[in-house]
Amino acid sequence: MAKLTSELLRPVDAAHALNETALLRYAAANVPGFPAPAPTLNLTQFGHGQSNPTYCLEASARGGETKRYVLRKKPPGAILQSAHAVEREFQVRLISHPPLLLRLDSVCVQDDPFISSSQTFPVQVLKALSHTGVPVPKVYCLCQDASVIGTPFYIMEYLEGLIYSDNKLLGVTPAKRQIIYFSAAETLASIHKVDVNAIGLQYGRRDNYCKRQVERWERQYLSSTGEGKPARYQKMLDLAGWLKENLPAEDSSAGLGTGLVHGDYRVDNLIFHPTEDRVIGVLDWELSTLGNQMCDVAYSCLAYIIDATPGESSSYGGFEQTGIPDGIPQLEEYLAAYCALSGRPWPAANWKFYIAFSLFRGASIYAGVYHRFTMGNASGGERAKFVGRVANVMVDRAWDFINRANVLGGQPATGVQTSKAPWQEFGREQKGSTSTRDQGRFVPSEKVMQLRNKLLKFLEDHIYPMEDKFYKHAQSPSRWTIHPEEENLKALAKKEGLWNLFIPLDSAARARKLLFEDHSLISPGSSNDLLLGAGLTNLEYGYLCEIMGRSIWAPQIFNCGAPDTGNMEVLLRYGTKEQQKQWLVPLLEGKIRSGFAMTEPRVASSDATNIECSISRQGDFYVINGRKWWTSGAMDPRCKILILMGKTDFSAPKHKQQSMILVDINTPGVQIKRPLLVFGFDDAPHGHAEITFENVRVPVTNILLGEGRGFEIAQVSNALQGRLGPGRLHHCMRLVGAAERGMDLMIERALSRTTFGKRIAQHGSFQSDLAKCRIELEQARLLVLEAADQLDRHGNKKARGILAMAKVAAPNMALKVLDMAMQVHGAAGLSSDTVLSHLWATARTLRIADGPDEVHLGTIAKLELQRARL
C-alpha cells in the first residue's frame, strides 16, 4: 500500500529532539528562499526508515508563506570523526511490510569513498545529480558544524509523493504495479548511465568492486560470529570462497558496467509522483559509491528470490516461490527493461554470482544485527532475534541458486531497442505514448499501427478471398471438418507475428516463465515470444481485435477466437503447471481448441448460481453429471478440452457452490447430442453443442484453483461473460469491426446502385441514416477503448461499470449499423450472398450470449445508485 510522504510524518522522537531555535536560525541564514520575515518552525519526523534521523521542517513566515524541507542528520552519538576507525552500524528497518528489511543506509564501508572519512553525507552526489535526469531532491545546505543541533546535517527539498513500502505492492492495481517496477528499472538505468566524470564525481576506484566487497563482508561476518558470539555457519564461509573464485572477469575492469552505484536500490527508496506514476525522487544515497553496477541491479531483484522479513513462520520465499503478484513483471522482463534502457548486455553469464553476492552481503549484515541483538543493543526489538536465522536462510538460498542449472532465461523482447521502457513502447496512458496525449486520447502507437496495417492487409489478401469458400465448406457434408486452407492461414499468421495478440502483458509474463523453464514443451520451430503475443495492453489489442471482427472467420486464424482466448486466460492465471503443460501450451500453439460449458437448458443461466451440473468427489476423481447447451466450439474436431462449471457443494454459501474443472472432451460419458442453430446458422465447423455428462470421471487434479472457487475465477456473478475482464471485451472490440465492415459494404452498395434515378448514396434519407450509423459507431468505439484503457489502469473490478456499458452499447450499435447495411442491400442483404446476415446474426447473439443486456444494465444502474448515495 502506498503512503504519501506526509502520511509518514509523526511527532519527533524524544531521543531525536533538536535545538529548534538554533536550527531555525541556521536554516533562515543558509537555505535560499527560506520563508521570511520572522519564520516559525514546525518539526516532525519521518517514521519510514530508522537509519539517519530524518525530519520535516515546516517553516511559516509572518504573512502566511509556508514551505516544507527535509533535514537529515547523523544519529545522536554517531558522528563519524575522520580520525576514528569507521564505525559500522547495522540496522534493520522493522516497518510493517518491509521489502527486504535490509537497511544498508547506515552501514559505513571504508572503501566506499562517499562515506568514508571526510564525507558523511551524500550531499555531493545529490548536488551533482541535480543536473542530470536522475530524479533526486535538491540539496540546499550542508552543515558540518555539530554545535548547531548536535550532529552534522543537511537540508534538502521536501517531495510530496507516494512511497510503496511493500515490494508485493499489495492494494495496488496490476497495471500500476507493472508501471512501478518498470519505472524502478528505468530510474536505475538512468542512475547507471550518468557520466560521473562529466558531473565531477571522480571518487576512487571502480575496478575490483566485487572483490573488495566480498573481502569486506567476509571480514564483517567473521567479526560478528565465532567464539563467544553467535555460531559461525560453515556454508557462509564456503560462500565467500565460492564468490572469490567466481568473480566475474568484468569486475576487474573500470569499463562498461561500472560507474555510480546507489548501493541500496529498491522500490521503497523511490518516491512516485502522487498522480502521475513516475519517479520524482530516489532516496537514501548514503551507500552510493563507484563500482560494479550489476550489484545494484541484482540487489534490486532480491525480492524475486527471497522474502527476508524476519519472523517465526515465514517461508522466506521470494516471488519465484510464492508467485509473482499480478502485474509485477517477471524477473526477466524487469531485467530486459533495465538492459534495454541502460544499454547493458544481458547479464546471464554472471547472474549467479551477482545474486549470490547480494545474498551473501545481506547475510553478513543480518549476522551483524543478530550479534548486536545477542549483546542487547540491536534496533528492531523482538524481531531482531530472527535475523540470525534469516542470515542462514540467505546463505542456503545463495547455495540453492548457485546449484541451479539455469538461473536466467534468454532475454525477452521488450519491444524497445534503446531508450524507452516497455510500457512507454506499449503505450501506457500514463507515459503518453500509445494514447499520445498531445495527439489525442486514443491514438495508436507506431507499433500498434504497424500490426493493424499488417492485419488489414492479411484480411484483404488472405481472408476476405476465402470467406465464400469457408462458408460453402461449412454448408457442405464436410461441414464439421476444417477447411485445409484454415490451418495454412494459421501458419502464415504465425509467421507474420500476428499470433496470440490478445494475451495481455501480465499474462504473457506468467506464461513466459513456464515456457522458459521447459523448452521441450513447445514444438520445434516455435518461439516463446511468438506464442506470447506482442506484449500489448488491452487498449492496444482493442485496435487490432476490431480488425479481426470484420470477418467471422478471422479471429481463429490469429488464434484469437472465442472461447479459446477466455479459456487460455483462465489457464494462464489459474492453471497449475501440469494443467498448463497439458492444455495451455497446445492452445497457445493453436494445435487444439476448447469450449466453455456453463449454460444449462433447465435453468436460467444468466444467473450462474442456478447452474445444477454436479461435480462430486470420489477418491482421486471427480464425477460429473449434468446437461449443458450452447457450448461454443465443442463441435470443432480440434476441440479437446472443456472448462466446465458445476457445483461441488450444493449446501455451501451461494457463491461457493460452483467450481470450474477441466474435462477432456474424449472422456467416457461426455456425449455431444446436437449442434444448436442460430437463426439457421450452425456455425460449423465450430458449432454450439448440447452435451450430456453422465458419470464422467476426471482426476481431482483437473479442478481449477480449488473447490468452490468457480466464481472467484468468474470474478463476477455471471460466470460466462465475467470469466475474465479482457475476454469480456473482445466481443465488443470485434463488434466494432463488424460494424465497420457493414459501413464499408453499405457505402459501396449505395454508391453503385441506382434507385429512382439516382444513386442510393444521393438520397437524403440514406445520407441521414449513414451519418447516424457513423455517430453510433464512433460512440461505441470510444466506449470500448475507454473500457479497455480502464481495464489496463484499474483492473477488472473497478472497470466493471464501463465494461457493462460497452457490452450493451457495442452489440446494439452493431445491430443497427448492420441492419442498415442489409436494408441498403435490399433482399441481397438478407441472403447469404453477403456476409451481412451472418455478421448480424452473430451480433444479435451477443445481446444474450455474453450476458443479457438486462444484466449489464442492472450492473450500470447499481453503480450509479451507489454513486448517488456516496
Ligand X SMILES: Cc1cc2nc3c(=O)[nH]c(=O)nc-3n(C[C@H](O)[C@H](O)[C@H](O)COP(=O)(O)OP(=O)(O)OC[C@H]3O[C@@H](n4cnc5c(N)ncnc54)[C@H](O)[C@@H]3O)c2cc1C
Between CA 636 and CA 854 the distance in angstroms is: 31
Phi, psi of 273, rounded to the nearest 5 degrees: -55, 140
- To 10 degrees, what angle do helices 764-798 and 538-548 make? 140
Cis before 248? omega within 30: no
Q: Minimum CB separation from ligand X for residue 490, in Å? A: 21
List, as one string, the DSSP characters of 441-493: SS---HHHHHHHHHHHHHIIIIIHHHHHHHHHHHHSTTTTS--HHHHHHHHHH
What is the nearest approach in angstroms of ligand X to the Cβ of residue 466?
23
Distance in Å, CB of 664 to ligand X, minimum: 17
Write down the least CB distance from residue 716 to ligand X, Å: 13
Beta bridge partners of 291: 259
CA distance 286 to 114: 8
Query: Cβ closer to ligand X: 361 or 844?
Result: 844
CB of 645 vs ligand X, minimal distance in Å: 7
Strand partners of residue 318: none
Cβ pair 268, 249 in contact under 8 A: no
Residue 516 has which C-alpha cell? 522458459
The dihedral region occupied by 117, where left means phi > 0, alpha psi between -120 and 50, and beta the remainder, is: left
Q: Is the Cβ of residue 436 or residue 606 nearer to ligand X in the bound state? A: 606
Residue (393 or 855) nearer to ligand X, CB: 855
Cβ(60)–Cβ(35) below 8 Å: yes
When the beta carbons of 311 and 858 are compared against ligand X, the nearer one is 858
**In the complex, least distance from residue 263 CB atom to ligand X, rounded to whole angstroms:** 55
CB of 730 to ligand X, least distance (A): 13
| Nearer of residues 601 and 826 to ligand X, judged by Cβ | 601
Q: Compute the distance between CA of residue 377 and CA of residue 503 in angstroms, rounded to an integer.
A: 53
Closer of 738 and 849 to ligand X (Cβ): 849
601: left (phi over 0), alpha (psi -120 to 50) or beta: alpha
In whole angstroms, give the CA distance from residue 103 to residue 299. Answer: 12
**Least gap, CB of 851 to ligand X (angstroms):** 6
The three-class DSSP label of residue 608 is helix
> 38, exposed or middle or buried, with CB in 10 Å at 0-12, 13-18, 19+?
exposed
Shortest distance (Å) from residue 681 CB to ligand X: 9
Residue 30: all three cell numbers together: 543558509
Q: Considering the complex, what minimum distance in angstroms separates the CB of residue 596 from ligand X?
A: 5
Return the number of the residue (512 or 709) whose C-beta is nearest ligand X: 709
Q: Decide whether 137 or 633 has the Cβ nearer to ligand X.
A: 633
- Paired with 2 in beta bridges are 164
Strand bridging mode 614-618 / 688-699: unpaired
Q: State in angstroms the smallest separation of the CB of 667 from ligand X.
A: 18
Which lies closer to ligand X via its Cβ, residue 378 or residue 733? 733
393/370 Cα distance (integer angstroms): 14
Q: How far is the CB of 515 from ligand X (least distance, A)?
A: 27
Q: Minimal distance in Å, beta carbon 861 to ligand X?
A: 10
What b-and-e string marks burial along 584-596, b requiring 16 or more CB atoms within 10 Å of the CB?
bbbbbbbebbbbb
Pairing type for strands 621-632 and 270-272 reads: unpaired
Q: Which is nearer to ligand X, 193 or 627 (CB)?
A: 627
| Three-state secondary structure call for residue 628 | strand
* For ligand X, the closer CB: 579 or 845: 845
Tally helices (H) and strands (E) across the chain. Answer: 30, 24
Smallest distance, ligand X to C-beta of residue 752, A = 33
Whether 301 contacts 185, CB under 8 Å: no
Residues that bind ligand X in the complex, under the rule CB under 6 A: 563, 596-599, 604-606, 630-632, 678, 688, 720, 845, 848-849, 851-852, 854-855, 858
Q: Which is nearer to ligand X, 73 or 688 (CB)?
A: 688
Q: What is the CB neighbour count within 10 angstroms for residue 870?
A: 4
Q: Which is nearer to ligand X, 329 or 563 (CB)?
A: 563
174-192 and 331-342 helices, crossing angle to 10°: 40
CB nearer ligand X, residue 214 or residue 608: 608
